[in-house]
């Protein structure tokens, strides 16, 4: 950490400034009219129409993802702090990679859609961050940000421009992609020393409440996420309504299943924090389609059920059998529901249209999202495995104290808790 991290962060920022100097320009009325073949100036109107939706997405990225990961008792600084670092780098790099790929050789003019897409591209890294949370260094996360967003931009270009597939809410290109990228990397970075778990890999009461701040802001603003880049008008309207209803339905099935699978019917905070959001992921691909209100509720209900069962049964299985340890269970929140979303898109289009080529393209989009994610994740994992990035030793995993100045008091807490463990053996003390 001593010099590697500051040097890498500063160099990356210098590189970003140079790249922005070379490629990124303000949007002006002229270049917009030119591009849209219109003489009426709608650019600024559209900017301010979408700005509230952009801010909702922004809150999801920085507060939503950041606080969702604060559930670990000793890893809150890193969760919310490295989340901010990744996202701040990622949105600059995402603006450039996506800008260049979609610019068709023309100048890149930064508008509200670029800003929304930049936030989206950081989301993939933040999802993958969840899979390796507590087991990587800030330097490794900077590298992952650069590599993953480059692969994401490539796949997104393929899906949107070549396959011309529909994925408005990005179930495939963001959620499934981010999850499988992270899982592949987590597999390569597997630590057999931690196969029996780690004392720090648990929550305390208040860390679970901090995580609920993340959950709620993600839950509330997900309709904005799924509709932000939808076509204006009816499609954008439907993207909001469908996502809103899918999420509401998902809450009830998550709670029901959480109680069903847990000891004595109790609710589990892990499920409540995560599975309640699966409905937003799963309805993503067909968010703007005419799936009817009840259709979106059906998708959300199924997503909640799958997600809870994933947390209960798949995550332990992955850790023991596949040697993939998924700290936040991103497979259950983003992976499986993302695949469900992709499949729901295929079914919806197959039911509406007799043109099988469009169905094939949707399938290709799902396949390419998972495929590029796995390959990209494996390669990234191999690079991150090089023993030069300051990764934490096994015993220091899930502990902020490796990379952060932690208030003195924390150590006291630990003393106290050991102390009270001791007391527990002597019930009369």
* Residues between 298 and 337 with contacts to a second copy, criterion CB under 8 A: 298, 301
Residue 425 lies near a second copy (rule: CB under 8 A): no
Judged by beta carbon, residue 48 or residue 321, the one nearer a second copy is 48
DSSP calls for 136-191: S-HHHHHHHHHHHHHHHHHHHHIIIIIS----TT-IIIIIIHHHHHHHHHHHHT--
Which H/E stretch holds residue 112? helix 112-132
Closer to a second copy by Cβ: residue 356 or 419: 419
**Which residue is listed with tokens 């989301």?**
123
**Does 403 help bind a second copy (rule: CB under 8 A)?**
yes
Site string for a second copy, 173-212 (x = CB under 8 A): -----------------------------xxxxxxxxx-x
Contact set for a second copy, span 44-83 (CB under 8 A): 44, 47-49, 51-53, 55-56, 58-59, 62-63, 66-67, 70, 73, 76-77, 80-81
Residues 6+ apart with CB under 8 A from 201: 72, 134, 327, 397, 398
Nearer to a second copy among residue 67 and residue 180 (C-beta): 67
Sole binder of a second copy in the list 160, 194, 213, 383 (CB under 8 A): 213
Binders in 225-264 for a second copy, by CB under 8 A: 232-234, 236-238, 240-241, 244-245, 247-249, 251-253, 255-257, 259-260, 262-264
Smallest distance, Å, CB 343 to a second copy? 19
From the number of C-beta atoms within 10 Å of its C-beta (0-12, 13-18, 19+), residue 194 rates as: middle
Residue 56 or residue 167: which is nearer to a second copy going by CB? 56
Dihedral of the CA atoms 246, 251, 253, 259 (nearest 10)? 170
Residue closer to a second copy, measured from CB, 198 or 377: 198
- The interface with a second copy within residues 121-180 (CB under 8 A) comprises 138
- Nearest CB to a second copy, comparing residues 321 and 409: 409
What are 108's strand-pairing partners? 24
For residue 270, give both structure tokens. 């892990």
Span of 42-50, 312-320, 322-330, 341-349 interacting with a second copy by CB under 8 A: 42-50
- How does DSSP classify residue 110? E
Contacts of 291 (CB under 8 A, 6+ apart): 242, 299, 344, 348
| Smaller CB separation from a second copy, 235 or 323 | 235
Shorter beta-carbon distance to a second copy: residue 248 or 364: 248
CB 54 within 8 A of CB 115: yes
Binding segment for a second copy (CB under 8 A), chosen from 325-333, 340-348, 370-378, 401-409, is 401-409
Judged by DSSP in three states, 45 sits in helix
Kindly state the smallest distance separating residue 183's Cβ from a second copy, in Å.
Answer: 25
Q: Which residues of 27-48 are buried (b: 16+ CB within 10 A; e: fewer)?
A: beeebbeeeeeeeeeebeeebe
Of the pair 357, 426, the CB lying nearest a second copy is at 426
Per-residue interface string for the shown chain with a second copy, residues 85-124, x marking contact by CB under 8 A: x--xx-xx-----------------x----x---------
29 vs 395, beta carbon nearer a second copy = 29
> Measured from the CB of residue 114, what is the shortest distance to a second copy in angstroms?
9
Q: Which of 28, 164, 320, 353 binds a second copy (CB under 8 A)?
A: 28
Please report where in the chains the tokens 């079914």 appear, as a residue.
Answer: 347
For position 394 contacting a second copy by CB under 8 A, the verdict is no
Backbone angles phi, psi at 24, to 5 degrees: -105, 125
Nearest to 114 by CA among 132, 102, 106: 102
Angle in degrees, CA 386, 391, 396, rounded to 5: 150
Taking CB under 8 A as the rule, does residue 351 contact a second copy? no
The residue among 370, 246, 262 whose CA lies nearest residue 308 is 262
Q: Which is nearer to a second copy, 176 or 277 (CB)?
A: 277
CB of 123 to a second copy, least distance (A): 15
Instruction: Tokens for 96, please give them.
Output: 């450039």
Cα pseudo-dihedral 399, 218, 297, 352, rounded to 10: -110
Q: Which stretch binds a second copy (CB under 8 A): 128-136, 164-172, 176-184, 296-304?
A: 296-304
29 near a second copy (CB under 8 A):
yes
Output the smallest distance, CB 331 to a second copy, in A.
21
């Amino acid at each position: 950490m001593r010099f590697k991290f500051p040097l890498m962060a500063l160099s990356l920022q210098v590189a970003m400034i140079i790249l922005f100097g070379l490629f990124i320009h303000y949007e002006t009325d002229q270049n917009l009219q030119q591009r849209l073949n219109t003489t009426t100036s709608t650019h600024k109107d559209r900017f301010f129409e979408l700005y509230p939706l952009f801010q909702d997405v922004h809150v999801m990225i920085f507060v939503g993802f950041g606080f969702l990961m604060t559930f670990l008792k000793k890893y809150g600084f890193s969760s919310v702090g490295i989340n901010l670092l990744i996202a701040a780098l990622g949105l600059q790099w995402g603006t450039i990679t996506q800008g260049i790929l979609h610019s068709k050789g023309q100048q890149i003019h930064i508008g509200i859609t670029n800003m929304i897409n930049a936030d989206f591209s950081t989301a993939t890294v933040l999802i993958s961050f969840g899979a390796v949370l507590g087991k990587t260094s800030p330097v490794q996360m900077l590298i992952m940000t650069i590599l993953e967003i480059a692969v994401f931009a490539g796949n997104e270009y393929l899906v949107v421009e070549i396959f011309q597939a529909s994925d408005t809410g990005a179930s495939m290109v963001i959620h499934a992609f981010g999850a499988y990228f992270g899982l592949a990397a987590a597999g390569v970075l597997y630590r057999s020393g931690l196969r029996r778990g780690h004392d720090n890999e648990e929550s305390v009461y208040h860390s679970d409440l901090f995580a609920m701040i993340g959950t709620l802001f993600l839950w509330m603003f997900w309709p904005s996420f799924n509709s932000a880049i939808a076509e204006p008008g009816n499609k954008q309207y439907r993207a909001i309504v469908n996502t809103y209803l899918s999420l509401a339905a998902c809450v009830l099935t998550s709670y029901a299943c959480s109680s069903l699978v847990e000891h004595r019917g109790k609710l589990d905070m892990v499920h409540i924090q995560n599975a309640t959001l699966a409905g937003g992921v799963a309805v993503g691909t067909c968010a703007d389609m005419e799936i009817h209100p009840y259709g979106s509720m059906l998708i959300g209900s199924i997503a909640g059920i799958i997600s809870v069962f994933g947390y209960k049964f798949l995550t332990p299985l992955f850790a023991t059998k596949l040697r993939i340890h998924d700290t936040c269970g991103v497979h259950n929140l983003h992976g499986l529901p993302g695949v469900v979303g992709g499949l729901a898109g295929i079914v919806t289009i197959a039911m509406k249209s007799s043109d099988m080529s469009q169905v094939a393209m949707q399938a290709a989009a799902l396949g390419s999202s998972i495929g590029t994610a796995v390959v990209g994740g494996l390669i990234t994992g191999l690079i991150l495995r090089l023993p030069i990035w300051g990764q934490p030793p096994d015993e220091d995993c899930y502990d902020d104290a490796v990379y952060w100045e932690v208030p003195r008091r924390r150590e006291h807490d630990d003393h106290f808790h050991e102390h009270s463990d001791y007391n527990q053996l002597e019930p009369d003390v």
